Amino acid sequence: MTANATRILVLNSGSSSVKYQLLDMGKAADGDSAGARLAVGLVERIGEATSRLAHTPLAAGGQTRETTGPIADHQAALKAVAEELAADGLGLDSPELAAIGHRVVHGGLKFTAPTVIDEAVLKEIERLVPVAPLHNPANIVGIRTAQALRPDLPQVAVFDTAFHTTMPESAARYAIDVETADAHRIRRYGFHGTSHAYVSRRTAELLGKAPEEVNVIVLHLGNGASASAVRGGRCVDTSMGLTPLEGLVMGTRSGDIDPAVTFHLKRVAGMSADEIDELLNKKSGLLGLCGDNDMREIRRRIDEGDERAALAFDIYVHRLKKYLGAYTAVLGKVDAVAFTAGVGENAAPVRAAAIAGLEELGMAVDASLNAVRSDEPRLISPDYARVAVAVVPTDEELEIARQTYALVTAS
Ligand SMILES: Nc1ncnc2c1ncn2[C@@H]1O[C@H](COP(=O)(O)OP(=O)(O)O)[C@@H](O)[C@H]1O
Ligand SMILES: CC(=O)OP(=O)(O)O
Ligand SMILES: [Mg+2]
């Protein structure tokens, strides 16, 4: 790595998408912290005929370029991304590139911090595929493709599970036979940790406090959704478990159910383990309840009087309330609730409904503050509320870039 290599490419490979950012850690971002964005983009609907790549070269005019047409797999997606970057002189061959940072969803028990990827690390990420079947395979293809493009560069894995490794055993252990659990490493790992870490820190900043001084409940509500209880900057509980299926109602995932539902489906409905897996991960949640997994579409249907959409919304919100109550009890004292990710940042009705009726917990939302649209962290609670309710946009890519840069410049 040369001394002036300050750029980090971040790849966030999802099951059917790749989000990416090229950042310069030697330059300040908005505000005063490092990480100026040079290019950002998204490839979506990978594997379908209608794949779409939207690329915005912020360092070269900032005009978004869109390409549509089939992109067969993640490897093809990353090659297309590399070409877009190269078109503006921001290519992967640049000597200014210091490292490539990858979001890796499941890190198991081994990885509690960002890690430079070698074959042994890749093997471990591969071993964890059964507990993150929608995510780890895409992460692996992202890493292998990036390695092939720049074999000389450090590739760094930043794990979704890392932030949650501070959970006490009382929160991390399931109440099942200890030997069986240990033999198969069955426990609560938690996910979206990079987001929970970033958002809880930003929330403390918004309150003008140090992270050590505040207790925050973070609600990361995207396609996948999870809640976490963060005490003084450390995670003490989170809603996702062994896999990203437990907890909140999600776009296509059920979240919490009675585990007996699974053997009932097997014994009574004759479904196989794979069919049940597919049902709970891909055909449940909002999609299973009402046929749509996008909150925008659900709100539109509710406005037209659609009862199935209204019930799906109510079930989604009911689950959020339960976790707000539970994590208030876990934390004892809550300073702030932070809403983040696609739904949390954009869906004012979800925020209003989740907090409604929680005055006894010190939580309230001001309707006019809640209606404000902004990309900035902001409070939406009235002055009198004991608990600050906030909208805090997440930035997993920036956080991954910071952790990656810190690791490769430390040695
Ligand atoms: N303007 C909006 N209003 C309501 N919901 C929105 C809006 N924009 C995005 N969403 C929701 O956010 C979801 C995507 O969230 P995001 O955090 O980008 O997900 P992921 O990173 O898991 O792909 C969409 O499926 C949709 O439900
Ligand atoms: C872990 C997880 O659920 O991630 P995503 O929300 O990106 O699907
Ligand atoms: Mg996400």
Nearest ligand to residue 340 Cα = 1
> Is the minimum distance from the CB of 222 to ligand 1 under 6 angstroms?
yes
Task: Count the helices and strands in the chain (H runs, E runs).
Answer: 15, 14
Arithmetic mean of pLDDT, 281-287: 96
Give yes or no for residue 396 having a pLDDT over 80.
yes
pLDDT band, very low/low/confident/very high, at 397 (cuts 50, 70, 90) = very high
Ligand 1 mean position to 304 CA, how many Å?
21
Instruction: Give 350's DSSP letter.
Output: H
- 160 belongs to the catalytic site: yes
pLDDT at 61: 87
- Between the CA of 176 and the centroid of ligand 1 the distance, in Å, is 35
Name every protein residue with a CB atom under 6 angstroms from any ligand 2 atom.
14, 105, 135, 160, 191-192, 222-224, 244
| SS3 (DSSP) at 302 | helix
Write out pLDDT tens, residues 293-320: 999 999 999 999 999 999 999 999 999 9
In angstroms, the CA 337 to CA 327 distance is 10
Ligand closest to Cα of 351 equals: 1
pLDDT digits (tens, 9 = 90+) for 98-116: 999 999 999 999 999 999 9
As a whole number of angstroms, the distance between CA 139 and CA 226 comes to 20
pLDDT at 16: 83
* Over residues 107-133, mean pLDDT: 95
Q: Are 277 and 241 in contact, with CB atoms under 8 Å apart?
A: no
Tell whether residue 12 is among the known ligand binding residues. yes
Q: How many CA atoms lie within 13 A of 262 on its CB side?
A: 14
* Atom number of ligand 2 nearest to Cα 14: 7
**Residue 27: per-residue pLDDT:** 77
More confident residue, 50 or 247: 247
Angle CA(249)–CA(310)–CA(304) in degrees, nearest 5?
Answer: 140
Interhelix angle 348-355/307-331, nearest 10 degrees: 60
> Above pLDDT 90, what percent of the chain?
91
Neighbours of ion ligand 3 (CB under 5 A): 222
Per-residue pLDDT at 233 exceeds 60: yes
Res 224: pLDDT: 94
Spatial separation of the C-alpha atoms in residues 34 and 172, rounded to whole Å: 34
Catalytic residue chosen out of the listed positions 30, 93, 160, 292: 160
- Check whether 32 has a pLDDT greater than 60: no
Mapped onto helix, strand or coil, the DSSP state of residue 7 is strand
Looking at every residue in the chain, the average pLDDT score rounds to: 95
Exposure class string for 164-182: b at 16+ Cβ within 10 A, else e: bbbbeeebbeeeeeeeeee
pLDDT confidence of residue 257: 98
Residue of 106, 188, 192 best suited for mutating to test ligand 2, as the one with most atoms within 8 Å of CB: 192
Provide the pLDDT confidence category of residue 30 given band limits of 50, 70 and 90: low
Q: Where are the beta strands (DSSP E) in 341-405?
A: 378-379, 388-391
pLDDT digits (tens, 9 = 90+) for 341-374: 999 999 999 999 999 999 999 999 999 999 999 9
- Does ligand 1 lie within 6 Å of residue 224's CB atom? yes
Question: Order of strands across the sheet with 18-28?
Answer: 65-68, 52-56, 34-44, 18-28, 7-13, 97-104, 155-159, 115-116
Q: Which two tokens stand for residue 139?
A: 């992460």
Cα of 365 to ligand 3 centre, how many Å? 25
Q: Which of 295, 297, 394 has most ligand 1 atoms within 8 Å of CB, for mutation?
A: 295
Cα-to-centroid distance, 167 and ligand 1 (Å): 28
pLDDT band for 3, please (50, 70, 90 cuts).
Answer: low
